Amino acid sequence: MTIRNVLPIGLMAIAASCSPITSCDKYASDFSCYYVTDLATYDVLYWKNVKADNPDDEQVIGTVKGLRACKAMAQGHSTGIGEDWNERSYICALVDDGGYAEKHRLLD
């Protein structure tokens, strides 16, 4: 294999790792893991008193970039309204083409 053949393969691998269209098994996503965790725009959905299981309690509390920022916004909102933090109280809805493509929570 010549350098001429290796270079395009290496460039394709680098491009694929940055592309939002390669899949991510960790998040069961059609997008790349890097895109899902760090680049995607999310609406942060929060359920007040999630234990009551009332779907009317769901509200969009903001829009952020990346899953860490999504979780941080949800935790800050929880503190701000005086609720104990519950991992089930939030979901990050990935904004794509005017709708939601996927929904995720930050996996540690």
- pLDDT tens digit string along 20-72? 568 999 999 999 999 999 999 999 999 988 888 887 888 999 999 999 999 99
Specify burial of residue 56 (Cβ count, 10 A radius: 0-12, 13-18, 19+): exposed
Helices marked H in the chain — which ranges?
3-18, 33-34, 67-80
Pairing of strands 99-104, 58-65: unpaired
Q: What span, in angstroms and rounded, lies between the C-alpha atoms of 99 and 60? A: 13
**pLDDT tens digits for 95-104?**
999 899 999 9
Assess contact for 96 and 103: CB atoms under 8 A: no
